[in-house]
Amino acid sequence: MKGSLLLTASICALCGLSACGGNSGGRVQPLLITSAAPPKGNVRTAYGAGGSGFSLAASGGVAPYSWSWTAASGSALPPGLSLAPSGLVSGTPTSAGNFNVQVTVKDSASPPSQQIATDAIDIGGPLLTITSSAPPSGTVGTTYDGRLGPPCKPGSPNCVCIFMPLRPSCHIAEHGFQLTVTGGTEPYSWSWVAASGSALPPGVTLSATGLIDGAPTTAGAYSVVVAVSDSSVPAAQTNVDYAIMIAPPPPPQINDVNSPSAVVNSAYSFTFTATGGQLPLTWNETGPLPAGLSLSSGGVLSGKPTAIGGFPISVMVQDSAGQNATPQMFTVEVTSHGFTMTGSMNSARISHTATLLNDGTVLIVGGQDTTGTPVANSELYAPSGGTFAVSGALGTARYFHTSTLLGAGKVLVAGGDDISGNALASAELYDPSTKTFTALGNMGSARDSFTATPLGNGKVLLAGGGNTNGIQATAELFDPSTGSFSPTGSMSTPRAAHTATLLSSGKVLVAGGVDANDTALATAELYDPGSGTFTLTTGNMNDQRYTHTATLLGNGKVLLTGGTDATNSSVASAELYDPNAGTFSATGSMGTPRAGHRAILLNDGTVLVEGGTDENGAPLVAAELYSPGTGLFAPTGSLQSPRFRHTATLLNGGTVLVTGGANTLGILATAELYQ
């Protein structure tokens, strides 16, 4: 028995030396690396299938195994990857290339066995991946994904300006949806795949640069397969399936504006407009029209009315899809006095000036055109023919400037803003005999939104306004005899968008405006040409206001109307300044709140107030007359076109010429006459 045990122990010892005790008596297999070739990777993409890495494999020897890589000559792991002792190659590659990697595996025997192998890991560039979000929905007849982009300078490409009562707001008009992709080799080329079920909405295009753009023409749900290829050889390509919803146009909605009044026995034309609907639109009306007027299917109400009165009608419009608008009631007013169209200017303008010359013509100078770009041209209106003719060109394009008729018949054009929106100090002199402008010396300060008032001594007072230093309190005088500017006393308060009115006493009433903090002012002050100083009036205005009007009445008082208050709302209130008492008192309110309007003293002593914007910022056609005798406003015939920041000039014959300005349709070249 004892011998048998010794024999068994000897056999087991031999098996232990041969590592066969746990292997049913078999021999240990040699250590071998059995991994397949490492897969290809891509920069910025987690390595391995599904980003889980790649596991090296071995057989034989004594498990467990321990892996490492050798930083030998020509051996390098791709940057961003690591090799764990377990044999897992993982990470996110950061550089492309073909990397030779020498790896070593050791088993757990003592001493351990090891094997070394060299493999190549190919890391390509970033994968081509479409990163765009789903394209937005669109609407039939509406530019796809239209929007306002960053601010821009007027006149620059695709710059759209929305003209507010005081300043324009200009932004780049952007549209279209840009597809995006990462990886691959630039440049990329996009296309849509005409596969089963794939279709771009009609009217919409996809450019090679990946911009989905256009104006959809047909409503529906569209599945669009878009593909992108890079510039590698051979090209890498990927695609994605997007859904684009195109909604039908909303039913047409008649724009809620009052049609302008007509003047009896005068030519009349007004076009109704609507938003929404699928073009073309077809118009009709019910109710008795004024005799001499008719409404076309295109929405044009025109003719020559022969009877005075108010004529209520119901206007309706239908689009080409058969959708009807909600009928709207309009009253066509035919009045004995009102506005009629006259010849149009050669250039559309806003924030320009109009000056009655000694020969009865009207000089139109500067302003901004339909793109918001300042213009340097001028033109003359001839009342005899109702026509405009091009005149001389300014040396500097400008808007928000002033034009003042001097005693000798020439016109001083001063200040304003240039194409960059910077206030100008320059001034020019217009000579009606030669129809040319000549540069003068500069003002002491650059100014815009200021006032220029001719004084009894022939000089011109220029006061306030803004520039790059802010709102100014300074004032200066232009002397036509020397052609130069000189400083005079400063106002007590910086002001812009205020009014300045020459009183019967020879003093100048300066009222309202905005101060250095853009706060609407209720204060007013008097300039005395004798002392060259400003003094605050005894009392303030009843309301804070800017972009208002001030009109000297025949009784020596000053009528102040409307404007914008401290809450940036248009107001309907009006008040009177009494130079004898030095105070302001309320008078009747206008029928319509308005700012950026115009007020003109007529030959019969009444004041015509017209245009501007209401409390919602909508341009107005409404006009009204103020009677100093009653202190009340009464409606009169309206403008033919809504407009604000226009001009109004009393002509020698007693009619009023209105030119330019802006409304929801843009900057206007049209002109009209009140008679």
Question: Tell me, what CATH number does 280's domain have?
Answer: 2.60.40.10
Residues 243, 270, single domain; the answer is: no
Number of neighbours of residue 635 by Cβ within 10 angstroms: 14
pLDDT tens digits, 634-657: 999 999 999 999 999 999 999 999
In a domain, 243, yes or no: yes
Q: Look at residue 568 and tell me whether its pLDDT is greater than 50.
A: yes
Q: Look at residue 100 and tell me whether its pLDDT is greater than 60.
A: yes
Residues 45, 98, single domain; the answer is: yes
Q: Look at residue 13 and tell me whether its pLDDT is greater than 80.
A: no
Q: Look at residue 25 and tell me whether its pLDDT is greater than 60.
A: no
Q: Look at residue 301 and tell me whether its pLDDT is greater than 70.
A: yes
Q: Round to whole Å and give the CA distance between 543 and 522.
A: 6
Structural element, H or E, at residue 328 = strand 328-335
What is the average pLDDT score of the chain?
Answer: 92
Structure letter (DSSP) for residue 3: H
Choose among 365, 429, 364, 366: nearest CA to 397: 366
Residues 100, 134, single domain; the answer is: no
Q: Look at residue 417 and tell me whether its pLDDT is greater than 60.
A: yes
Residues 39, 5, single domain; the answer is: no
Residues 141, 240, single domain; the answer is: yes
In a domain, 100, yes or no: yes
In a domain, 307, yes or no: yes
What SS3 state is found at 9?
helix
Buried (b) or exposed (e) across 355-368, using 16+ Cβ within 10 A? Answer: bbbeeebbbbbbbb
Comparing 150-164, 237-251, 295-309, which segment has the lowest mean pLDDT?
150-164
Q: Look at residue 4 and tell me whether its pLDDT is greater than 50.
A: no
In a domain, 90, yes or no: yes
Q: Look at residue 11 and tell me whether its pLDDT is greater than 90.
A: no
Whether 173 and 148 have beta carbons less than 8 Å apart is answered as yes
Residues 223, 280, single domain; the answer is: no
Of 317, 335, 353, the domain-final residue? 335
Residues 298, 211, single domain; the answer is: no
Q: Look at residue 159 and tell me whether its pLDDT is greater than 90.
A: no
**Alpha-carbon distances, residue 432 vs 361, 386, 389, 410, 639 (angstroms):** 10, 19, 13, 6, 30
**287: containing domain:** 262-335
Number of neighbours of residue 450 by Cβ within 10 angstroms: 31
Q: Round to whole Å and give the CA distance between 401 and 201.
A: 49
Residues 65, 117, single domain; the answer is: yes
Number of neighbours of residue 25 by Cβ within 10 angstroms: 10
Residues 314, 272, single domain; the answer is: yes
pLDDT tens digits, 237-285: 999 999 999 999 999 999 876 678 999 999 999 899 999 888 899 999 9
In a domain, 352, yes or no: no
Beta strand 181-182 with 451-454 is unpaired
Q: Round to whole Å and give the CA distance between 502 and 554.
A: 13
In a domain, 82, yes or no: yes
Tell me what pLDDT residue 82 has. 96
Q: What is the DSSP string of 267-301?
A: -EEEE--EESSPSSPEEEEESPPPTTEEE-TTSEE
Residues 236, 134, single domain; the answer is: yes
Instruction: Give the list of residues 6+ apart from residue 525 with CB closer than 8 angstroms, or none.
Output: 491, 492, 493, 509, 510, 534, 535, 536, 537
Comparing 217-226, 254-263, 309-318, 511-520, which segment has the lowest mean pLDDT?
254-263
How large is the average pLDDT for residues 325-337?
A: 93
Comparing 172-186, 380-394, 470-484, which segment has the lowest mean pLDDT?
172-186
Choose among 625, 576, 615, 575: nearest CA to 595: 615
Tell me what pLDDT residue 27 has. 79
pLDDT tens digits, 441-482: 999 999 999 999 999 999 999 999 999 999 999 999 999 999
Q: Look at residue 570 and tell me whether its pLDDT is greater than 80.
A: yes
Tell me what pLDDT residue 258 has. 66
Of 90, 106, 123, the domain-final residue? 123
Of 97, 123, 149, the domain-final residue? 123
Q: Round to whole Å and give the CA distance between 527 and 532.
A: 7
Report the chain's terminal Cα–Cα distance, integer Å.
144
Residues 167, 118, single domain; the answer is: no
State pTM to two decimals. 0.71
Residue type, position 70, single letter: T
> Is the preceding peptide bond at 64 cis, omega within 30 degrees of 0?
yes
The pair of structure tokens assigned to 483 is 């052609």
In a domain, 419, yes or no: no
In a domain, 99, yes or no: yes
Number of separate domains in the chain? 4
Structure letter (DSSP) for residue 189: E
Instruction: Give the list of residues 6+ apart from residue 451 with CB closer than 8 angstroms, or none.
Output: 402, 461, 462, 463, 464, 465, 498, 499, 500, 510
Residues 157, 220, single domain; the answer is: yes
